Structures are given as C-alpha cells and as structure tokens.
C-alpha cells in the first residue's frame, strides 16, 4: 500500500518528464566545462531546482484542469482526476514545492531566483489562459525551455551561442507542434480548447516550418561556432597525423544525426500518432535513442577527447 502511494505521487509530480530539464547542462557541455566539478555541481543543483519547479507546474495544471481531465480518455487516469489525490492535498503540494524551489534558487543566486519565479509565473498563466490561445500555447512551451537554458547560463556564467539558443527554441516549437498534431489526430478538438482554432493542415505547416528551422539553426551553429580549445587525450597524436585538424568545422559531422532525429520524430507522429508524449518517444524509440546517443558521444568526443 505504501509503495502504491509513492507511485501515485511520482505520477502526480511526473518524474518521467524531468528529462526536459537536462537543457540546463547545455551551457557547460558546449563550453567544454562538463567535467569541471564546481560548474557541474552548480548545473546539477539548477537541474533539481527546475525539476521541482516543473513538478509544481504539472500539479498546478492538473488542479486547474481537474474537471476537463475527468472526461479525457487518457488524462482521467491522472491522480487528481482519478481521485487518488484530493484537491486540498494537491494544493498543499503546490505550496510546499513552490516554497522549497524558490528558497533554494534564492540561496543559489538572485538571478536564478528571478528566473525560477518567471518560470512559475509563465506556467501559472499558461495553465489558466495561454494554453487556450492557439500559437501562444506552443510559443509559451518554447519560452519555458529557453528559461531553462538561460538558467544554465546564469548558474555557471558560461554563454550559450545564439544559434544554439535558436536551435533549442525552434526544436521545442517543433515538438510542441507535433504534440498538438498528435492530440488533434488521436482525440479530436475536444482534447484541448486551443485545438478548436487548429486544423491538421495548419499543424502540418507548423511542423514542417519548425522542423526545418531547427535543422537550419543547428547547421548554422556548427558552421559559425568554434569548438573550445583542443586539449583532449588524443590531441597531439591527431595533430601529428593531420596538421590541419584544428581549423576544420568538425561539429558539422553531427548535422546528419539532427536531421535524422527530426525526421524520425515526425515519422512517429504520422505513422503512430505518438507525439503527445515526447518524453516517452525520446526514451523508448530505439532508432531515436541510438541517434541521440551517437550524437551525444560524438559531441563529447570532439569537445573533450580530441
């Protein structure tokens, strides 16, 4: 019984969606500082703060949508809609999580506190109003990812290049568009209020547009930006073999992985309508998992071992 209760609270907090907060590590990963213990610890603390903030926003959203979720074919199984967690209990959880996350962020830095407060404010208005307005809803989702990325900058003091920032922005817009398309295809316009102003052709256009701009932004980043200074284990050996190694745009070899990742994500939408749960897709679809894994290994290899 105790384990079942813990599982219910894990469902309520949506622990499986904490993966989205990995975005806070981008600042140190692409600056060549991932293995700097102090900076990694700062990023890790920021990651957990945003995990608490994310869970707060999810519980708040479930409280506000309680009546709608009870009628939804899938969302009716959520703890609040199913009656496993009462509204007073959920409200208390929101209060406690808000207090803890804001206090932790304030002790970390004033800047991180303001970003954390902005994140909560955005999700509060998103749950009440913004998610009901077409286009505004998906841009709000994108803005929440940008806040996470900027929090990683603030926590470590390392800058994310503008084209990488745009990649994050367009990528989140792409995933949000895919999610809306999947909701519309699977459950119809009654699944979400904003869907009454969407149709499949418009969502197809948004998916194509943001998928393309994600690829263009990432390709531009790999061409425009230089890798951190080469100080890896194999650097001297490679220089002896290939003297012109350092001047090459080696990050560009990762472009095909991003192109395939975007294409595979879209394929899952149009073949299986699985876009409603992006965190499930990126952790369970084997071709996509392998693509992300190989992309990550090459990035780490280029930045840290060459």
Could you write out the three-class secondary structure of 7-36? HHHHHHHCHHHHHHHHHHHHHHHCCCCCCC
Q: How confident is the model at residue 279 (pLDDT cuts 50, 70, 90)?
A: low
Q: In the structure encoding, which two tokens stand for residue 6, read together?
A: 């813990």
What does the alpha-carbon distance between residue 56 and residue 64 come to, in Å, rounded to a whole number? 12
In tens, the pLDDT along 211-248 reads 999 999 999 999 887 766 555 556 555 655 555 555 45
Task: Between 118 and 232, name the one with better pLDDT.
Answer: 118
Question: Higher-confidence residue: 189 or 13?
Answer: 13
Query: Which pLDDT band holds residue 273 (cuts at 50, 70, 90)?
Result: low
Contact 148, 24 (CB under 8 A): yes
In this prediction, residue 185 has a pLDDT band, given cuts at 50, 70 and 90, of confident
**Alpha helices (runs of H) in 129-254, residue ranges in sequence order:** 136-156, 162-187, 200-224, 235-241
- Check if the beta carbon of residue 47 is closer than 8 Å to that of residue 104: no
Domain ranges of the chain: 161-306
Tokens of 126: 């998103």
Question: How confident is the model over 248-259, as a mean pLDDT?
Answer: 88
**DSSP states of 36-78 as a string?**
-HHHHHHHHHHHHHHHHHHHHHHHHHHHHTHHHHTTSTTGGGS
pLDDT reported for residue 12: 86
Q: What is the mean pLDDT of residues 280-296?
A: 87
Chain segment 60-117, per-residue pLDDT in tens: 988 888 877 777 667 777 888 878 888 888 889 999 999 999 999 999 999 999 999 9
Q: pLDDT tens for residues 16-64?
A: 889 899 999 999 999 888 888 999 999 999 999 999 999 999 999 888 8
Q: Distance (Å, rounded) from C-alpha 63 to C-alpha 269? A: 29
Instruction: Provide the 8-state DSSP code for 248.
Output: S
Reported as a single tens digit per residue, the pLDDT across 207-219 is 999 999 999 999 9
């Amino acid at each position: 019984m105790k384990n079942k209760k813990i599982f219910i609270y894990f469902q309520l907090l949506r622990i499986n969606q904490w993966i989205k907060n990995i975005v806070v590590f981008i600042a140190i990963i692409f600056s060549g500082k991932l293995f700097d213990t102090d900076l990694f610890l700062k990023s890790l603390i920021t990651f957990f703060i945003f995990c608490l903030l994310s869970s707060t926003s999810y519980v708040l959203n479930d409280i506000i949508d309680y009546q709608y979720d009870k009628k939804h074919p899938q969302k009716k199984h959520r703890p609040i809609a199913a009656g496993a967690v009462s509204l007073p209990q959920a409200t208390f959880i929101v209060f406690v999580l808000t207090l803890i996350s804001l206090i932790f962020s304030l002790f970390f830095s004033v800047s991180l506190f303001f970003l954390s407060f902005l994140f909560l404010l955005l999700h509060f208005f998103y749950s009440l109003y913004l998610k009901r307005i077409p286009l505004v809803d998906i841009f709000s989702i994108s803005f929440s990812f940008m806040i996470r990325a900027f929090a990683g900058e603030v926590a470590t003091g390392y800058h994310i290049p503008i084209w990488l920032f745009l990649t994050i922005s367009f990528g989140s817009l792409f995933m949000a568009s895919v999610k809306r398309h999947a909701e519309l295809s699977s459950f119809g316009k009654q699944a979400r209020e904003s869907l009454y102003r969407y149709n499949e052709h418009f969502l197809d256009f948004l998916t194509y547009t943001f998928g393309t701009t994600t690829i263009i932004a990432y390709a531009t980043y790999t061409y425009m930006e230089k890798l951190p200074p080469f100080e890896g284990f194999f650097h001297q050996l490679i220089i002896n073999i290939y003297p012109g190694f350092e001047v090459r745009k080696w990050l560009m070899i990762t472009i095909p992985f991003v192109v395939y990742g975007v294409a595979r994500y879209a394929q899952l939408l149009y073949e299986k309508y699985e876009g409603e749960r992006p965190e499930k897709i990126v952790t369970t679809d084997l071709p996509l998992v392998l693509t992300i894994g190989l992309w990550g290994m090459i990035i780490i290899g280029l930045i840290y071992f060459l």
